[in-house]
Amino acid sequence: MQASLAAALAALLLMAAPAFAGDPARPVTVLALGDSLFAGYGLPAGQSVPDLLAERLRRDGYAVRMVNAGISGDTSGGGLARLPWLLKERPDVAMLELGANDGLMGMPPENLEKNLAAMLDLLAEKRIPVLLAGMRSLANYGPDYAARFDAVYPRLARRYGASLLPFLLEGVAMRPELNQADGIHPNPAGAAKVADNLYPLLKGLVDKVPAGR
């Protein structure tokens, strides 16, 4: 009786575990497409947000290959131009972290939405699930601009069924102890907090990657 119960429990645990967890021969490829917040501007090597996420996934037993496509200063237009080439990496999951520089430069929110939608279309064609990292507009362009900008991310997440982190820098922005001297880019402690914000959503997508993909 006890042996049967143990066997049933073991079977349930195997069913609950991702088929690729701990299998270095078939790592899940995660594409992290973004700007300096993903590139790790001003951070020590290996301390960028994608690096921290990959390390945590591996620590939790996942075999993962992280493609960090963060480029400092990149805009949504630049990300769109790079995405077709990056799809050659054959990602299983994508994280989109773009728009901060669009907002800093006062680019029209309608352009941001158009570029992000085009990226989401390309990823949808490949059936790649997406984690969309939202940003918020600075106050210096006025409340109308901020309202239009901030609405882009939740609207696109609903339209495309993407996982959404409403604000990437939640709990980090405007906190000097978590940012570098420029007040914009997270320091190592801030990057760890950003990774904490993203991790549950990313893990949820990685868990859904089908075996034998």
Give the pLDDT score at 48: 98
State the pLDDT confidence band at 25, using cuts at 50, 70 and 90. Answer: low
Confidence label for 22 from pLDDT (cuts 50, 70 and 90): low
Has residue 10 got a pLDDT over 50? no
The torsion angle over the Cα atoms of residues 192, 195, 196 and 199, rounded to 10 degrees, is -150
Q: Which domains does the chain have, with CATH numbers?
A: 24-207 (3.40.50.1110)
Q: Which of 74, 137, 163, 185 is catalytic?
A: 185
| Letter string b/e over residues 117-154, b meaning 16 or more CB atoms within 10 A of that residue's CB | bebbebbeeeebbbbbbbbbbeeebeeebbebbbebbe
At 164-182, the pLDDT tens digits run 999 999 999 999 999 999 9
Which of these is catalytic: 36, 48, 76, 137?
36
Which has the closest alpha carbon to 149: 114, 96, 109, 118?
109
Please enumerate in sequence order all residues whose Cβ is within 8 A of that of 135, keeping only pairs 6 or more positions apart, or say none: 99, 100, 103, 149, 153, 167, 168, 169
Q: Is 185 a catalytic residue?
A: yes
Task: Specify whether 48 is catalytic.
Answer: no
**Does the global pTM surpass 0.95?**
no
* Residue 21 confidence class, pLDDT cut points 50, 70, 90: low
Task: Confirm whether 36 is a catalytic residue.
Answer: yes
pLDDT of 140: 87
| Mean pLDDT computed over every residue of the chain | 91
Confidence of residue 4 (pLDDT cuts 50, 70, 90): very low
Residues facing residue 194 across a β-bridge: none
